[in-house]
Amino acid sequence: MLATKVLQQGEADRPWLIWLHGLLGNNNEWRVIASRCPEWPSLAIDLPGHGDSVAVTCSSFDDISAQISSTLQMHGIERYWLVGYSLGGRIAMYHACCGDTTGLQGVIIEGGNPGLADPALRAQRLTHDAAWAERFRHEPIEQVLADWYQQPVFANLSAVHRDALIGARKDNSGAAVADMLEATSLGKQPCLVPQLQQLAIPLVVLCGADDHKFQQLARDAGLPLRIVPQAGHNSHLANPQDFVAELRTFLVNPG
């Protein structure tokens, strides 16, 4: 069973906010954001191989989607929103398109790729992720993280934020991260664009103003997009105030 942490008790008549972190994160990732949404009950999930779920394994997107459903049932959660960053965003999209969506009210995605339509690009991504997984398994994790956060998607991180992320995430199990990275590689994720365009529930993509790649992905997929100013890929870290403002606006009036 996935480890969880209740971040806010909220008001009993509101749906829960279910928070899904990115690769290398944990339930603490969303603490600041959830504290600014006190009306909603909030549950943060540690994904397999992360945080207190470090010993939990995951074989596929179907597997993690089912694990999330079981976790919600265990907590007696009947109505909920999914909020996911990066890997958590991809898992949220997959769950909304292919999982048990009983009680799902809507989805908020931050920096999540809806999938690659080109088989050649999927194969390329599998090779890319396998190489990183090999490094996570066999090299000192701080050394790997120093290179991980130099990837183009993190170009807008300040040196201070980059060092803080490395410091916060060096306690991860490299082997467990590697297993999750391979199980949920973008190369193994189906292209979800057609299903996302037909979803019967509200969905929004939140992107930092400087995260041009993921803005374009959302536009190309025809998905509703809201911009968080003064932020890059990890907009909830870079600018929590404006991220929360966009999140709350959507929750109150998803349109």
Residue 63: CB atoms within 10 A of its CB come to 14
d(CA 183, CA 65): 12
Cα angle 28-134-191, degrees, rounded to a multiple of 5: 70
d(CA 218, CA 81): 20
Give residue-wise pLDDT tens across range 4-48: 999 999 999 999 999 999 999 999 999 999 999 999 999 999 999
Does residue 154 form part of some domain?
no
Does residue 94 form part of some domain?
yes
CA dihedral 175, 147, 143, 169 (to 10 degrees): -60
The residue assigned the tokens 């979803």 is 199
Mean pLDDT in residue range 106-127:
97
Strands 16-20 and 4-8: unpaired
Residue 255 has pLDDT above 80, yes or no: no
Give residue-wise pLDDT tens across range 123-162: 999 999 999 999 999 999 999 999 999 999 888 888 998 9
Q: Does pTM top 0.85 for this prediction?
A: yes
Give residue-wise pLDDT tens across range 185-194: 999 999 999 9
Torsion sign, CA atoms 208, 48, 92, 9 = negative
Does residue 90 form part of some domain?
yes
The band of 178, judged by pLDDT with boundaries at 50, 70 and 90, is very high
Q: Of 24, 85, 25, 22, give the one whose Cα is nearest residue 243.
A: 85
Q: How confident is the model at residue 125, as a pLDDT?
A: 98
Residue 52 is part of a domain; what is its CATH number? 3.40.50.1820
Q: How confident is the model at residue 161, as a pLDDT?
A: 86
DSSP codes, the chain: ---EEEEE---TTSPEEEEE--TT--GGGGHHHHHT-TTS-EEEEPPTTSGGGTT----SHHHHHHHHHHHHHHTT--SEEEEEETHHHHHHHHHHHHS--TTEEEEEEES-------HHHHHHHHHHHHHHHHHHHHS-HHHHHHHHTTSGGGTT--HHHHHHHHHHHTTS-HHHHHHHHHHT-TTTS---HHHHHT-SS-EEEEEETT-HHHHHHHHHTT--EEEESS--S-HHHH-HHHHHHHHHHHHH---
Does residue 128 form part of some domain?
no
Structure-token pair, residue 218 = 């959302």
Does residue 150 form part of some domain?
no
Instruction: Check if the beta carbon of residue 6 is closer than 8 Å to that of residue 27.
Output: no
Percent of the chain with pLDDT over 70: 100
Mean pLDDT in residue range 212-232:
97
Does residue 121 form part of some domain?
no
pLDDT, mean over the chain: 96
Does residue 81 form part of some domain?
yes
Does residue 153 form part of some domain?
no
Containing structural domain, residue 237: 4-115+189-252
Mean pLDDT in residue range 222-251:
96
Give residue-wise pLDDT tens across range 62-81: 999 999 999 999 999 999 99
Give residue-wise pLDDT tens across range 237-250: 999 999 999 999 99
Indicate the number of domains in the chain: 1
